[in-house]
Chains A and B, each alone.
Chain A
Amino acid sequence: MSARLSQGIIKLGAQVHLEIEVEGTEQAVLESLPEVNGLTIGPAGRPNRQFYQSWVNGRYQSSTRVTWVVPVRPFGTGEFEIPPATLRVDGNRRVETRRLTLTVVEDLRGAELGLFEIQPSSTFVVEGQPFSIELRFGFDSALDRSINYANLSLPWWGALSGAVPVETTFVPPEDARTEILINGDHRVNVQVERTEERGRSFVLFRYRQGYVATRTGTLDLSGNIFEFGRVVDSGGFLTSRRKKVESYYVRSPELEVEVVPLPEEGRPFDFGGAIGSLDVRAETDTRDVTAGDSIKLTVEWHGAGNFEFFDVPDPSRDDAFNGFRVYGSTEESKGFDHRRVVYDLAPLSAEVDRIPPVELPYYDPQEGSYASVATSEIPIRVRPLESAIQLGDDGHDDRFAPDLTDIHSSLPAARGSLVRPGTRAVAALWVGVPCLWLVGRTAFRRRRGDPDAPLERRRRKARRELARRLRRAHDAREELEALQAFLAARTKEADQAWVGRGLDPSAEPALEEDTAREFNELVGDLEAAAYGQRASSRNRRDVLRVADRLIAGGL
């Protein structure tokens, strides 16, 4: 196993690699990397595995090599002792690399040829206050022809805890713009210009980013490196590699921005979080309206402030607007340097002759105190509605007032109270009805069986079914079959039980003799017509009449 640095001495801003190799095993895991104050070591990434095999003196030999290349970036000068890294090989055996030493020196040449400044708009801001950070970096213009790359390393970029980036006015002109890489992965457009400083002419790049401080504390903007130099393309026809042949590093001075809380003393009750140096203007879409008509009041705050973050005033909570109905507000536009809101107002009466000022309290960091900015009064003319009632704030017509209904002028006609069944009668019903039902139901079912049984349902429907089949019957056979089905349903027997069968009065004591005789004659006629294939002398009504007599007789 071996560990080494790609370089033992580097300039501040440059990057070096820690190479860890393990040979002779495939099972090797890098458990932990050393931590050093002033260095960023890692991440390790996936290792590179190589397999070697060869024949030596007739003998076959093979070997596996696992390699990690770990980036190391310093953030200060000095001599750094890098402790061992820990690996686990062959499953459970822990081994450590040897200690290494890295020397980081200031790039004096880079400091001479380069320029790097970070200028915040203020190093002391209050919570919620917007501020900007301007980056000024460049190199000696004499190197302009040879320098072909420039990068920024800003540890806090995109990870500034306690502040959020906001839009700025910084837009480089088209003819003086170029792209710069920040932290190797973020491209920004910077403005290019020339400047004279320290007796030299520099190619200067400028970039400005706005922030809003979101909580109290210290914002650390240190550890920044500007790297510039020359790269050349190397490699063959199919591969292309860029190799740095010249590199310079410039470090910016250490920088912190202190964020303090807003002072409580003097804070207005209706303070909505506005901070900065603000001004306001207002206009209306019309100044001549009828009572109740809408007026759009557009208010625009501008200047330098946290326009995207504060609460706009609500006129409905302002007593000065009691003569108006405030329907609401609409955000028309919001940016880093302005905020425009449209209020929808309606004057309630012709007595209203002006739109009161809309006041916004804010905190001025320059003055270190609270102040307010208000729109000017806007005179308006409100015409009364023709023949209209004047509504009060609660919507009632002020000309009228509610009152009691009048007394009754006479006693109602005398009459007795409604006859009442009485509570006892109701209770008796509640007890008696279910009991009677239970007893009656049980007795009925014991005697007659389940009324919902299929045969019983068929029996009840027999008369209707007979009428239906007779309506559809075309000849005597179908009529006879319908009658047999009726009889079978009523007696809960099969249809075939009534084929060729008549009624014997002695066997059916409930049936009258006349009924039984009429039935037998009817069946005889139908059978003769059906089997003799002649027309029946009976019609449908005769059959139904006999059926009704049978039902009445208790069939």
Chain B
Amino acid sequence: MFVFLALLLAVAPDVLPVPADRSASELTFQTAVDAYRRGDFASAETMWRSLWDEPLDVDARATLAHNLGNAAFRQEDSLAAVAWFTSATRLRPRDAEAWANLEFARADAGVGPADSGDLTSTSRRLMESVTPAEAEWIACGGVLLLALALIVEALRGGLLWRRAAWSALLLALGSATPLLWSLSRAQSDPHMIVRSPSAQLRSEPREDLPPIGEVGAAEVVERIDELPGWTRIQRGGGARGWVRQSSVAPIARREG
């Protein structure tokens, strides 16, 4: 099995088929770029939005999100730009330009940085810096390294190889962490609050009810349900409620 996997990595074929008609998408994309260059940001945004539902790969979707963020920002909608740039960083976690634009848009919107530099933010960013596919390969690599250490321990025994096996086990557990993180978020449907300074939370989707709370701008929430004009969300602390659909924008889920 090890040999099979090694061959697979060495060849690294493209398994998924290329979209049959990419040329139409590229044409639309270029037309939008031209509109952007002319200063027609609204038209550029419309055209890029139309591509969002196309069956594009992760890289292309990340590029779209980046451009949509720029278009939103140029139309002075900083919070919408924050949502798009957040999507771009989730689709392509190590894109430095997307991160730079995200922090710039957040500062312009008056919300705190996405990466505040503390241990929690750094750990979260580290976990999200690999795609689900990369996380699976890393976890595989960790297990194979563990297997190697265990084989040598079985054949040679001794204190030295036992310690090596324990170390390999710890390394394997660590290498599985990004995958576990990715799996925990696979079923989420993240949205971002794009109303400033906050969106009002209600217990039912009715405007006449008094608000039961408020959700701050740029806060990421989970979409639970949806009705015309309303979206039911859940906050990180577990609080649930309905907000106006215009107050939230979807953030791209991680691939797969």
Contact = CB atoms under 8 A, between A and B. Distances in A.
Interface string B1-36: 000010010001111111100100110011001001
Interface in A400-419: 402-412, 414-419
A440 interface: yes
A447 B97 CA distance: 60
A40 to B, nearest CB: 65
Contacts of A416: 13-18, 57
B109 interface: no
Given A421-B140, A426-B139, A433-B150, A405 B14 contact: no
Contacts of A437: 147, 150-151, 154
B209 to A, nearest CB: 39
B140 A452 contact: no
A402 to B, nearest CB: 6
B237 interface: no
Interface in B92-114: 97, 100-101, 104-105
B133 A420 contact: yes
Interface in A417-467: 417-423, 425-426, 429-430, 433-434, 437, 440-441, 444-445, 450-452, 457
Interface in B41-66: 56-60, 63, 66
Given A412-B60, A417-B57, A425 B140 contact: yes
B105 A426 contact: no
A414 B26 CA distance: 11
B133 to A, nearest CB: 4
Contacts of A441: 150, 153-154
A108 to B, nearest CB: 83
B143 A421 contact: no
Contacts of A457: 158
Nearest to B92: A412
B104 A403 contact: yes
B183 A423 contact: yes
B126 interface: no
Contact of A430 (B16, B143, B153): B143
B100 A405 contact: yes
A414 B133 contact: no
A404 B73 contact: yes
Contacts of A405: 97, 100-101
Main secondary structure of the interface of B (DSSP, over half): helix
Nearest to B28: A411
Interface string B136-161: 11011001101100110111111100
A451 B151 CA distance: 12
B15 A411 contact: no
Q: How many residues of A sit at the interface, in one of the four size bands?
A: 35 or more
Nearest to A449: B157
Interface string A75-100: 00000000000000000000000000
A452 B157 contact: yes
Contact of B147 (A406, A417, A433): A433
A441 B155 CA distance: 8
Contacts of A403: 104
Nearest to B70: A407
A415 B18 contact: yes
B67 interface: yes
A440 to B, nearest CB: 6
B76 interface: no
Contacts of B150: 433-434, 437, 441
A426 B133 CA distance: 11
Contacts of B132: 420
A432 to B, nearest CB: 9
Contact of A426 (B140, B154, B155): B140
Contacts of B59: 412, 415
Contact of B140 (A409, A417, A429, A445): A429
Nearest to A457: B158
B179 interface: yes
A415 B17 CA distance: 8
A411 B140 contact: no
B179 A426 contact: yes
Contacts of A444: 154-155
A445 to B, nearest CB: 8
B147 A426 contact: no
A420 B14 CA distance: 11
B134 interface: yes
Contacts of A418: 12, 131, 133-134, 137
Interface string B158-176: 1100000000000000001
A407 B33 contact: yes
B166 to A, nearest CB: 13
Contacts of A411: 22, 25-26, 29, 56, 60, 63
B58 A417 contact: yes
Contacts of A445: 154
Contacts of B60: 411-412, 414
A491 to B, nearest CB: 20
B156 A451 contact: yes
A423 B131 CA distance: 13
A407 B151 contact: no
A450 B157 CA distance: 7
A454 B105 CA distance: 67
Contacts of A440: 151, 154
Nearest to A425: B140
B226 interface: no
Nearest to B96: A405
Contacts of B136: 420-423, 425-426
Contact of B101 (A404, A410, A433, A450): A404
Nearest to A452: B157
Point out which of B60, B101, B143 has the most chain A C-beta atoms below 10 A from its C-beta: B143
B36 A407 contact: yes
A411 B67 CA distance: 11
A408 B133 contact: no
Given A416-B17, A430-B143, A440-B151, 20 more contacts: A403-B104, A404-B73, A409-B33, A415-B57, A416-B13, A416-B16, A416-B57, A417-B15, A418-B134, A420-B133, A421-B137, A421-B140, A429-B144, A429-B147, A433-B146, A433-B147, A437-B151, A441-B154, A452-B157, A457-B158
4 residue pairs, one from A and one from B, having the closest CB atoms: A452-B157, A416-B14, A416-B16, A441-B154
28 contacts: A402-B104, A404-B70, A407-B33, A407-B36, A407-B70, A409-B33, A411-B63, A412-B63, A414-B18, A414-B60, A415-B14, A416-B13, A416-B14, A417-B58, A417-B256, A420-B132, A422-B136, A423-B136, A425-B136, A429-B143, A433-B146, A433-B150, A437-B147, A437-B150, A440-B151, A451-B154, A451-B157, A452-B158
